[in-house]
């Protein structure tokens, strides 16, 4: 929908008025109008309502909103004071905490992304990235590779936790607070779209609390939804929303930062260098299929508070 903004004007006043007497005091300064403040507040309220009111049918490439957190994860910010607020500063600080994941299963090999959350190699990714995998290999930003074990999965939230074998001294990403995210906040996305490791894109948070319906694992075949026009891309396949037992629905952050197949499991980051979401889905036009599908500015991420609330369950071998 296109928003139209009209510039208001006042009619010309062609009448001449005599100048005030020389001894007349100067007019008192006019008080600043308060109406625009009220208008801005009204617009903010409407934007928040719109962010939570629409429902999207989504394919698995973007969870559920939760609060709380667990220990053993990085806190604070990795961005230097001088670089804070810049895409370059965020990318430089956070890229070492983002990895490329290659998962091999009976169905073939798939590539996704992940976020390091502990120095000994715990990594958060999407469940659909590693679902059904017999082997999982991880490549760090410096090119070093590791074998990884799956600690736990939560298909309902499309989350998984893996751990590198014999890793130590890694730079973990900083987890933020998705409850403080606002529509319009600038964000950076880092991942491995189409296997292009360490790709950085940027944009804004375009909506909050989007209802997202996704397939629970990568191996499900595309299906046809009677409501056309909402297919989504994941792992090179299209998915048209379904409400059966093989799908799950969660609340997601929406962003216009470019996301493409392979970004799954990567990080959505605020300008302080804190991860606020795990990228997992993107809209794909109905005319595009497979490798012809690409970002059209509608991407989705699982809020990081959902991840933090689920970590204990994932570490124990399952989700909450």
Q: Which of 131, 206, 264, 280 is labelled catalytic? A: 264
Q: Of 19, 57, 35, nearest to 284 (Cα)?
A: 57
pLDDT digits (tens, 9 = 90+) for 44-91: 222 222 223 333 334 334 322 233 333 345 445 566 665 668 999 999
Neighbour-count burial for 98-128, b at 16+ CB within 10 Å, e otherwise: bbbbbbebeeeebbbbbbbbbeebbbbbbbb
Residue 165 has pLDDT above 90, yes or no: yes
Q: How many angstroms separate the CA atoms of 12 and 8, rounded?
A: 13
Q: How many angstroms separate the CA atoms of 274 and 62, rounded?
A: 18
Residue 122 has pLDDT above 50, yes or no: yes
pLDDT digits (tens, 9 = 90+) for 227-255: 233 334 443 344 444 344 588 888 999 99
Q: How many angstroms separate the CA atoms of 132 and 290, rounded?
A: 21
CATH for the 55-315 domain, from 3.50.50.60, 2.40.10.120, 3.40.50.800, 2.60.60.20: 2.40.10.120
Residue 38 has pLDDT above 70, yes or no: no
264 is catalytic: yes
| Cα 60-62-67 angle, rounded to 5 deg | 130
The band of 214, judged by pLDDT with boundaries at 50, 70 and 90, is confident
Q: Tell me what pLDDT residue 7 has.
A: 40
Comparing 145 with 282, the larger pLDDT belongs to 145
State if pTM tops 0.75: no
Q: How many angstroms separate the CA atoms of 112 and 8, rounded?
A: 50
3-state secondary structure of 194: helix
Residue 315 has pLDDT above 70, yes or no: yes
The band of 103, judged by pLDDT with boundaries at 50, 70 and 90, is very high
Give the Å distances, CA to CA, from 232 to 82, 119, 128, 282.
Answer: 39, 34, 14, 6
Q: Tell me what pLDDT residue 26 has.
A: 52
DSSP tag of 316: T
The phi and psi torsions of 304 (rounded to 5 degrees) equal -65, -25
Q: How many angstroms separate the CA atoms of 313 and 319, rounded?
A: 4
Q: How many angstroms separate the CA atoms of 175 and 41, rounded?
A: 30
Where do the domains of the chain lie? 55-315
Residue 170 has pLDDT above 80, yes or no: yes
Q: Which of 64, 158, 217, 242 is labelled catalytic? A: 158
Two tokens, residue 35: 């109406």
Segment 184-211 shows an average pLDDT of 95
Give the Å distances, CA to CA, from 42 to 38, 46, 47, 302.
Answer: 6, 6, 9, 28
| Cα 110-113-148 angle, rounded to 5 deg | 75
Q: Tell me what pLDDT residue 292 has.
A: 47
Q: How many angstroms separate the CA atoms of 66 and 188, rounded?
A: 22
Q: What is the maximum alpha-carbon separation in the chain?
A: 94
State which H helix or E strand residue 299 sits in. Answer: strand 299-303
Average pLDDT, the chain: 74
Q: Contact at 8 Å (CB) between 192 and 261?
A: no
Which residue shows structure tokens 């600043």? 32
128 is catalytic: yes
3 is catalytic: no
Please count the CA atoms within 13 angstroms of the CA of 209 that sit on its side-chain side.
Answer: 12
Q: Which of 64, 128, 206, 280 is labelled catalytic? A: 128
Residue 37 has pLDDT above 90, yes or no: no
């Amino acid at each position: 929908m296109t928003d139209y903004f009209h510039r208001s004007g006042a009619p010309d006043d062609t009448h001449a008025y005599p100048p005030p007497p020389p001894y007349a005091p100067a007019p008192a300064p006019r008080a600043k109008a308060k109406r625009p403040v009220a208008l801005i507040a009204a617009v903010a309220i409407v934007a928040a309502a719109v962010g939570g009111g629409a429902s999207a049918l989504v394919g698995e490439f973007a969870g559920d909103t939760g609060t709380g957190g667990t220990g053993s994860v990085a806190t604070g910010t990795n961005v230097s004071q001088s670089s804070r607020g810049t895409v370059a500063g965020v990318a430089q600080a956070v890229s070492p905490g983002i990895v490329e994941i290659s998962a091999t299963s009976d169905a073939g090999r798939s590539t996704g992304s992940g976020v390091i959350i502990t120095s000994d190699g715990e990594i958060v990714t999407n469940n659909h990235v590693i679902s059904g995998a017999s082997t999982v290999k991880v490549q760090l930003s410096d090119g070093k590779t590791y074998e990884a074990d799956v600690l736990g999965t939560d298909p309902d939230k499309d989350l998984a936790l893996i751990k590198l074998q014999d890793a130590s001294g890694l730079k973990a990403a900083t987890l933020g607070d998705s409850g403080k995210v606002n529509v319009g906040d600038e964000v950076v996305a880092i991942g491995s779209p189409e296997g292009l490791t360490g790709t950085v894109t940027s944009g804004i948070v375009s909506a909050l609390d989007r209802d997202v319906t996704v397939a629970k694992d990568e191996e499900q075949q595309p299906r046809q939804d009677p409501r056309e026009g909402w297919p989504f891309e994941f792992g090179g396949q299209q998915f048209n929303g379904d409400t059966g037992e093989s799908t799950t629905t969660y609340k997601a952050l929406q962003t216009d930062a470019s996301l493409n197949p392979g970004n799954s499991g990567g990080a959505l980051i605020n300008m302080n260098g804190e991860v606020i979401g795990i990228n997992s889905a993107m809209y794909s036009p109905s005319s595009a299929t497979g490798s012809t599908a690409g970002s059209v500015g509608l991407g989705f991420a699982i809020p990081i508070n959902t991840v933090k609330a689920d970590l204990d369950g994932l570490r124990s071998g399952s989700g909450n």
